[in-house]
Structure formats: C-alpha cells, structure tokens
Chain A
Amino acid sequence: MQTNILICGVGGQGIVLASKLIAATAMEHEIPVMSAETIGMAQKGGSVFSFLRLGDDLYCPMFPEKSADLIIGFEPAEAVRMLPFLKDGGQIVVNTHPIMPVTATLKGSDYTGLEMIDYLKKNVAKAAFIDGESACREIGSPKVLNMIMLGEAVRRGVLPFTIDDIEATMIRTVKPQFAELNSKALRYNK
C-alpha cells in the first residue's frame, strides 16, 4: 500500500516544512517514507514542489504522472501546473489566493487565479478550496498558510494519520512560541 502526495506552490510559502511534518509523522508511525523537493535557485519566487511517498517497497521519491493520491496546491496556478500528476479519482486541496509573478506584474497581466480555480473545479471531482489569505488574517499571521493547508489535507482522509498526530510532530519541530498559532491553523476548519 502506497500513498503518493504532491505539494506545490511558490518559494517562501512554507512547503518544505509542510512536507517535512508529513514525513516525520509517517516515520513516527513506522511507515517508510521518501520525499524530494526543489531547493536552490528555483526557490526565489519560482515554482516549488515536494513529492512525498509513504508505504512499503519504494525505490525513489518521485512518481510519474497520474500517480498522486493527493495534491496540496498552495497557489491556484501551481495546482493546475501539477495537475497531470493527479491519479484518476485523486483529491486536491487548493489555496484560492493567487501569487502574481513579477514578470506578470511587469507585463500588466491580469492573472487573478480565478480561471485556474474554474479549471480545477471542472476537471477534478474531489476538490477542496480554501481562501488561505483570509484564513491567515483570521488566525493572525501570514506565515501559517502551510499549517492551514496541511490541516485540511489531513481532514481529507488520504493521509494515514490524524490532526493530533501531525500536531504532535509540529510541536516537536517548531519553536515553542509558534506552536499555539500553528495548532490553531492546523485546526482551522471552515
């Protein structure tokens, strides 16, 4: 039994930490795990992704197209970009708040993310959308988007563990002063 997860978004959104929390929680449950992510030059405002695989008999952290049980999209266009990796019947969790690349700003592009969300709604049956921007505002920090996304992903039931499990890993991982805020974000459910 294998679970393939793809997390995608833009550099600086906290994708690497989200991926590490899933991996560490899996290890805590003695589930073998492999992952791979973008590091380096591409992080500076570029598209960032993390492949995660849980289960036995894994050779490599990456998986081919049409293999992901779950895609967690931190940005609508990035979710569309990685959609070919979604398995038939797979689920997506997507932040609806777009991030405008500098190149688009310069060209005066009218990218709003709405066309991406329409596309996702039309093409994926099991899709959950979160307005990450307003959720962050409600919780009181722009830095908790990853926890909000992670919480929703766990609630979709694809990952073999609960919010309590992820929360326990998070508390062990982050600085103590951020634990409460992150807990709130993990449990944000609207």
Chain B
Amino acid sequence: MGNAAIARGAIAAGLNLVSGYPGTPSTEVLETAAKSNNGSLYVEWSVNEKAALELGAGAAYCGARSMVTMKQVGLNVASDPLMSLAYIGVKGGMVILVADDPGPISSQTEQDTRHFASFSKLPCFDPSSVQEAYDMIQEAFEFSEKYRTPVLFRPTTRVCHGYASIEVKDEAEYKINKPEGFVKDSSKWVIFPRLSYNAHIRIEERNAELSKVFSDYGRNFIISAKDSSSRKAIATHGISYTYAMEALRDKAAPAVLKVSTPFPFPEQLAVEFLKDKDEVLCIEELDPIIERELIYICGKYQLPVKILGKLTHNVKTAGENTCASVAADIAQFMGWELPAAQPSNEPPALPVRPPVLCAGCPHRASFFAVKEAMKGKKSVFCGDIGCYTLGNAMPLDMVDTCLCMGAGVNITQGIGKIEPDTNCFAFVGDSTFFASAITGAVNAVYNQADMTLVVLDNSTTAMTGHQPHPGTGRTMMGQVVDKVSIQEVLKGVGVKTVETVDPLKLDEAIECVKRVSAEKGVKAIVFKSPCAVLIKGKSPAVIDSDKCTGCKRCIKTLGCPGIVMRDGKPAIENSLCTGCGLCSQVCPFDAIGGVENAD
C-alpha cells in the first residue's frame, strides 16, 4: 500500500517521531509506522492535527526527523502552527504528510494542498506511484534538513491506497538519525515581528533557489515526443501522470512534462519544455496549479504557447480523473479518434448502495431514541464528522447539518440564538469530541446556550478504522493509560447535567432524552455502547413468523441492513445481524426475539 511505503520510506530516512490524526486516505501511514517500530521511533495519535503538528515541530527543533500525518481538511486545523512554523523553520528534517482526496471519495472538500504549499511558502512533493512515494519521502527529508524548513508531502487517494510490488532498502542501509537535542536560542525559536520580517526575506531567496534546484531534480522531468515534429505537449502530475502514460502507450506520443514539486515550481525546466510548443494540455486533479504556473511562465518569458486544461474546460473542473477520462482528454487534444462506444445492451436497473450505518450499530439506537423522544417537538439535530454522519439517511433522517470536525456543537448554538423555540441538539462522536468539540462545549456554557450535547461514545475512532483516542485508555505505543472521561470533562467545564445511558436499552434511553432535554441551559447525554464491529456479536435475532404481521415497522423505522424482505415479510440477514436487540424493542407485536435485550 502507498501509505505503508511512505511509512517505510520515512523509517529508512531515520525517522524519530511520527504524530498525526486519523483521516482517510492518510491513516495507514502512521499505523504502518507503529507496526514497523523497532523501538527507536515515537508514535502517537494526537488529539487533533494542530497538536500533532506542534509536537512534530518540537521534535524537529531538537534535531529529530519528524513526520506529521493528516488528510487535507486536517491541514485546515493545523494551519495556524503551519503558517508560523514556515517562518521559524526546523533543525531536523520535518515532513508534513497531507493526503488529498480527489472525488472527493471520503472528505468534505476537494481542496488542493498544493495551494497550501504556495500560501505557506513551503516546498511540496507530489508522488505519482507507490514506488515513487517510497523514494520521494526519503528525498523530502533530505531537502527539509538541508534547507531547515518543514516540507509538505501530498499524495492523493489512489497513491495512498494503491498497492504495488516495489524495491525497498535493506535495513542495513537505513539512515540512523541521532537528535542533538534542543539548543536554547530565543532569537531563533521565538516568533516576533522583526524575526518574521527577516525570515520572510530569507524564505523568498530560498524559494527562488529551490525553483532552480527543482528544475534539476530528477523527479521533475520532460519525456521527449515520439513524434519530434509535434508541437503539442502534455503537462501532468501525480496519479494523472500514470493515466497519461497508459493512454500514450503505443501511440505517437507528444512530449510530457511531469511536475513532482508544484512549489517552488521548476521554472527553468518549464521554460525548456514550453519552447517550440504551440499548445500544452495540463492534466491535473483538484485545482489547475500547473496550468496557472505555465500561463504565468508564458507571460513572463513571452512564449506564444496556448495553455489548455481545467480553466479552458479541456479537462473536467471537479472530481477524480480516471484512465478513461485522461485518455479521452488526450485523444481530443491530439485530434486522435476516440474509441467508438460500442453499443451494448441496456442493463437492468441497478440497485444503488449508499453507505449506511452497520447492522447493530449503536448510533442507530441513539438517533432513534432522540427521534422518538422529540416526536412532535420543534427540534434541530446538528451532526458532525464520523460514522454517525450516516444518521442522515432515511429512515432515521436525524442529521440536519454537518460541516466540519466539531462544528455541530457551535452551529446548534447559533440556530438556538435565532430560533429560541427550537430544541437544539448537537451529536458528536467520542473521538471528534476530544479533537474539537470541547471548546464548543465551553463556549455554550459561557454564552448561556440552551442545547443538548449528545456524545455518541462507541469507545473508538470507527470511521477511519478504529484508532485509539484519549477516552480509550490505549496509546499507539501500546501503553495502557488513564482514560480521559468525557463526563468529567463536561462537568469540569460547567455542564451541570451529564447523564450516561446505553442506547440499546431503548425505553431508558428515550426517557433519558425526554428528561434531560427538558432542562434549561447546556446539558449532555453520553450514549455509551461499543462499536458493533469491535465486539463479538450475539446470536442473530429470530422473527416469529406466527406473530409477525408484516407491518414492516422494524424496516421503516430503523433501516438496518440486518433486516431484509423475503417473500413479502421481514427476515433477518443472519450474516449481518449482531443480535443488538433494537428491532425486538421496536416491534409492536413482540415478534422478534432470540436476543438478550428483548423482553
């Protein structure tokens, strides 16, 4: 896996510390580093990306080689330390790994971290394959240490989650980095306006130099045209480069420019590429960064080259590129015949499969309990980022808003200030609570909000593949530590009513919601029940076909994948049912039994 290759590459480069916050498609980098740890590496899941980046900076101040991992939206959280750290710099090599997600496949935005590189003025590396990711991360550490600056490393989903057989170093060839330790020097490590002014001058000089250095960097290169008379050419990067090369296989291929360092842009190499060209097609994912750079260079050097791409709608402006889309874009650009779409027989209507909460997921019970308790009352349900965002699907329909990590807690306060007659709820998962909802709770208490904070505590970070967090009492170094109690945190910040209830005991849960939500001010309910994927399921539910009237209340209210229709009646899908017992408590005819919670 690309992420595993990045972790192994970083270890081969003498990595001393890695920190991060889980987020698809970046998560497996840190997990692989933890698994491959021979004892010389410190690994942690930090509470959020900002904490992770600051930790990595501290280690790099000491001369350690550090890596910080996150997904693209995680960098938004970490952008405050990032922007300042760019001025301060580092002593040991520091790579900030930020995985972008064209599509987006599992993210809120299609933001392009290459923009963050030019915004923060930090060098950026953009690998196009698993092998290149392994090699390039080692080079990134060298550049970082040589220029004493953190660098960004931004693979995209298809590189992160692509697999390939690759060449790796023997352990004997690994670099061993022994950190010197922190050397006090307040003129260096304490940011002040004067320091920033001087640093800004140096950064601009360094980036001008790096632009030249990157023009000679072997991973930025030009492939000459097979047809030397062709005045057309292609500029590309990342996984799109591999799609382009597949599309050009066995063709009279034009010249290709591969850009592996979008910032600082390899300007001299680009000038060489552009001379003698009439038209260049830029094939990029996310934003037209290379395209704008080439337009700028054409203007600066007065090169009469037409630059095509996303800005000219020759490449689609949003979503992921594919082998097929790139082949079609290139064929159109080159005037090649497109492969004729062969008439195929129209297939039957295909079932759609939107993602849903798993069978036995305790979040289903929590949402259902609140829904039942608030029936007929004017309410708003602000959701958040995690598996429980899927509570938006029918029939639960219990997520009215979702924005970014921790936002729901504050959004519901804003709604409450404008619509005081609304029962305001914020749903937040346990990992998201620790990552970024605590400040929202403090804000609510301080500013006299009237709201119910519902913490869905399944004792893991489920969506990204079950990482530990402060509430689990386990760390990535395998230590067992004191759990940070969500209830104590809430009481500590001034939430007076904090109740904890098992959502799978449905009647109790509904009563709890009615009681707590009726109070004034900020109050909290912790729905505590472990993630269904992590526990050994009980025996599946059994439907008594004599009692079942086929009313379908179980299906219509819960939408559990463990209940299907067979021969006109609900039936249990035994391969999925975990025996959670929720449906047996919903059935008005006591027709579902065989499970513990059933009465």
Listed in ascending order, the chain A residues whose CB lies under 8 Å from chain B are 10-12, 20, 23, 26-27, 32-47, 58-66, 77, 80-81, 83-84, 100-106, 108-109, 111, 115-116, 119, 122-123, 142
Question: Are A106 and B395 interface neighbours, CB within 8 A?
Answer: yes
Neighbouring A residues of B211 by C-beta, 8 Å: none
A-B contact pairs, 6 of them (CB 8 A): A35-B163, A45-B358, A64-B322, A103-B354, A105-B564, A108-B565
Q: Which of B340-366 contact A (CB under 8 A)?
A: 342, 344-345, 347-348, 350-358
| A36 lies within 8 A of B158 (CB) | yes
Contact A115 B348 (CB under 8 A): yes
Measured in the bound complex, the distance between the Cα atoms of B43 and A156 in whole Å is 45
Q: Which of B138-146, B504-512, B555-563 contacts A (4 or more CB under 8 A)?
A: B555-563
Q: Digit string of B352-394 for contact with A (CB within 8 Å is 1, else 0)?
A: 1111111000000000000000000000000000010010011
Q: Which of B243, B348, B352, B464 contacts A80 (CB 8 A)?
A: B348
Which A residues lie within 8 Å of B347 (CB)?
80, 83, 116, 119
The residue that A41 contacts in the complex, of B394, B395, B463, with Cβ under 8 A, is B463
Q: When the two chains form their complex, are residues A35 and B162 in contact, meaning their CB atoms are under 8 A apart?
A: yes
A77-B323 contact in complex given A102-B560, A119-B345, C-beta closer than 8 Å:
no
Describe A's contact surface by its main secondary structure: mixed
* Cα of A11 to Cα of B353 in the assembled complex, Å: 10
Cβ distance B374 to chain A, nearest Cβ, rounded Å = 22
Q: Are A80 and B161 in contact (CB-based, < 8 A)?
A: no
A44-B355, A59-B246, A106-B555 known; A39+B348 contact, CB < 8 A: no
List residues of chain B with CB within 8 A of the CB of A109: 351
Which of the residues B354, B565, B574 comes within 8 Å of A100, measured between beta carbons? B565
Instruction: Decide yes or no: A81 and B246 within 8 Å by CB, A35-B162, A41-B105, A102-B356 being known contacts.
Output: no
Tell me the interface secondary structure of chain B in the complex: loop
B559 lies within 8 A of A60 (CB): no
Q: How far is the CB of B104 from chain A (nearest CB, A)?
A: 10
The CA-CA distance from A47 to B246 in the complex, in Å, is 26
Is residue B129 within 8 Å, beta carbon to beta carbon, of the partner chain? yes
Is A41 within 8 A of B106, CB to CB? yes
Report which residue of A23, A58, A60, A62 has the largest number of chain B beta carbons within 10 angstroms of its beta carbon: A60
Known A33-B164, A65-B324; judge A101-B350 contact (CB<8 A). Answer: no
Are B322 and A36 in touch, CB under 8 angstroms? no
B129 lies within 8 A of A39 (CB) = no
**8 nearest CB pairs, A to B:** A60-B242, A40-B106, A40-B24, A59-B242, A64-B323, A44-B355, A41-B106, A142-B575
Contact between B161 and A36 (Cβ–Cβ < 8 Å)?
yes
Contact A105 B106 (CB under 8 A): no
Tally chain B residues at the interface, Cβ within 8 Å.
54
Say whether B350 contacts A106, CB under 8 Å.
Answer: no
Q: Check B163 against A36 for contact (C-beta < 8 Å).
A: yes
**CB-defined contacts of A104 to chain B, threshold 8 Å:** 351
| Distance between Cα atoms of A58 and B249 in the complex (Å) | 10
Digitize B316-354: 1 where CB-to-A-CB distance is under 8 Å, 0 elsewhere: 000000111001000000000001001011011011111
In the complex, whether B165 has a CB less than 8 A from a CB of chain A is yes
- Flag if A39 contacts B561 (CB, 8 Å): no
Q: In the docked arrangement, what's the CA distance between A39 and B351, Å?
A: 20
In the complex, the chain A residue whose C-beta lies closest to that of B357 is: A44
**Separation of A26 and B561 alpha carbons in the complex (Å):** 36
Known: A36-B163, A62-B323. A142 touches B574 (CB 8 A): yes
Query: Could you say which residues of chain A place their CB within 8 Å of the CB of B165?
Result: 23, 26-27, 32-34
Asked if B25 CB lies within 8 Å of chain A CBs, one says yes
- How far does the alpha carbon of A26 sit from the alpha carbon of B164 in the complex, in Å? 11
Bound complex: CA of A101 vs CA of B161, how far in Å? 26
Rounded to whole angstroms, the CA-CA distance of A119 and B162 in the bound complex is: 32
Min CB distance, B88 to chain A, in Å?
34
- Complex Cα spacing A61 to B131, Å: 12
Q: Are B161 and A37 in contact (CB under 8 A)?
A: yes
Which residue of B339, B344, B464, B565 contacts A123 across the interface (Cβ within 8 Å)? B344
**Are A105 and B163 neighbours in the complex by a CB distance under 8 Å?**
no
Find out whether the CB atom of B345 lies under 8 angstroms from the CB atom of A61.
no
Q: Are A103 and B239 in contact (CB under 8 A)?
A: no
B249, chain A: closest CB distance, angstroms: 8
Q: Tell me the smallest distance from the CB of B2 to a CB of chain A, in Å.
A: 9
- Give Cα A32–Cα B344 distance, bound, in whole angstroms: 33
A64 and B556 contact, CB distance less than 8 A: no
The reply to whether A61 and B390 form a contact with Cβ atoms under 8 Å apart is: no
Interface assignment of B415: CB less than 8 Å from any CB of chain A? no
- CB neighbours (8 Å) of A103 from chain B are 351-354, 394
Q: Which residues does chain B contribute within 8 Å of A142, judged by CB atoms?
A: 574-575
Is B245 part of the binding interface, using a Cβ–Cβ cutoff of 8 Å? yes
Chain A residues contacting B163 (CB-CB under 8 Å) are: 20, 23, 33-37, 61
CB-contact partner of A39 in B24, B245, B355, B565, under 8 A = B24
Inter-chain CA distance A110–B355, complex, in Å, is: 20
CB distance from B244 to the nearest CB of A (A): 9
A36 B354 Cβ-Cβ under 8 A: no
